[in-house]
Amino acid sequence: MNHFFRYAGFAALPLVFLLPLTAQNSKKDSKKDAGITSEQAEQILDELRQIRQLLQQQAEKNAPTGPARAKLDLQGFQMLGSKVAPLTLVEFTDYQCPFCRQFHVTVFNELKKNYIDTGKVRFYSRDLPLDSLHPNAMRAAQAARCAADQDQYWKLRDLMGANPDKLDMDGLLADATSLKMNVGAFKGCLDTQKYKEAVQTDVLEAMKIGAEATPTFVLGKSTPQGVDGELMVGAQPYAEFVKAINKLDAAK
């Protein structure tokens, strides 16, 4: 399920639904307006129906014919698995997103056990904090990168992914303490927003490839620089990832 709407398309939908209603109101008020006869009102209604049909046809014409594709340069980003794995899975995540948590606690461990740890798929994590909806998401994304400075990226990511309600500063410092990190250095990294620009770069790249929801995944063949694959949007069940991976295997 998408975590936020395609705003332009959503804004256009009420107009389509309101067109026939406007015509119906015009027809009902025709007796009050001496300048519009019942025949003219009916003609207006027919014209509005034609406009609605044209809008619907245009929407269908512009609809994508298949999954969106994306090529990503993943050099320098956090990775799990074998560097030479033939397939790559990338997650654009928001640590405060409930759907990201759903993926993390119900699917990720199975993927890790059966595909990442076995050398079939390498996994990359990228950031897409929806800070207009989730006030702690940007801080959490930076926290993961600050943890990477102390080689604790994946452990902190695991804690945050499972507990999206504990991402305020106190919660993050408690996590850092539990991982025996240098808490002072970790807090200093957060206070200076050392990685804010890097996180914003991830957001811009996500927008560029059409990732408009969290989580959004890119799954495809590994390339020397990263991945060439298709977008999978939403907290997909484990079976959908297996199906997609098998499809890629069969295409070799």
DSSP secondary structure string, 199-250?
A: HHHHHHHHHHHT--SSSEEEEEEE-SSEEEEEEEES---HHHHHHHHHHHHH
Query: Which distant-in-sequence residues (6+ apart) come within 8 Å of 12 by Cβ?
Result: 55
Whole-prediction pTM value? 0.74
Which of 126, 177, 194, 185 has its CA nearest to residue 150?
Answer: 185
- Given a cut of 90, whether residue 64 has pLDDT beyond it is no
At 202, the pLDDT band (50, 70, 90 cuts) reads very high
C-alpha torsion sign, points 41, 45, 48, 54: negative
Query: Which distant-in-sequence residues (6+ apart) come within 8 Å of 179 by Cβ?
Result: 147, 152, 155, 156, 159
Percentage of the chain modeled with pLDDT above 90: 69
pLDDT given at position 48: 75
Domain extent listing, the chain? 7-62, 69-250
- Given a cut of 50, whether residue 19 has pLDDT beyond it is no
Which of 86, 71, 147, 164 has its CA nearest to residue 121?
Answer: 86
Q: Which CATH superfamily is domain 69-250 in?
A: Glutaredoxin (3.40.30.10)
pLDDT given at position 47: 76
* Whether the Cβ atoms of residue 136 and residue 10 lie closer than 8 Å to each other: no
Question: What tokens were used for 37?
Answer: 């006869």
Which of 104, 105, 101 has its CA nearest to residue 137?
Answer: 101
Question: What tokens were used for 248?
Answer: 């890629």
Predicted confidence (pLDDT) per residue in 97-145, tens digit: 999 999 999 999 999 999 999 999 999 999 999 988 999 999 999 999 9
Question: What tokens were used for 83?
Answer: 């560097």
At 57, the pLDDT band (50, 70, 90 cuts) reads confident
pLDDT given at position 60: 63
**Chain CA centroid to CA 180, Å:** 32
pLDDT given at position 109: 96
* Whether the Cβ atoms of residue 74 and residue 225 lie closer than 8 Å to each other: yes
- Given a cut of 80, whether residue 153 has pLDDT beyond it is yes
pLDDT given at position 17: 34
**What does the alpha-carbon distance between residue 251 and residue 99 come to, in Å, rounded to a whole number?**
30
**What does the alpha-carbon distance between residue 128 and residue 202 come to, in Å, rounded to a whole number?**
7
Cross-strand pairs, 125: 91
Q: Determine the length of the chain.
A: 252
- Mean pLDDT (whole number) for 201-205: 95
- CB-count burial class (<10 Å; 0-12, 13-18, 19+) for 29: exposed
Which of 155, 51, 225, 227 has its CA nearest to residue 217?
Answer: 227
At 30, the pLDDT band (50, 70, 90 cuts) reads very low
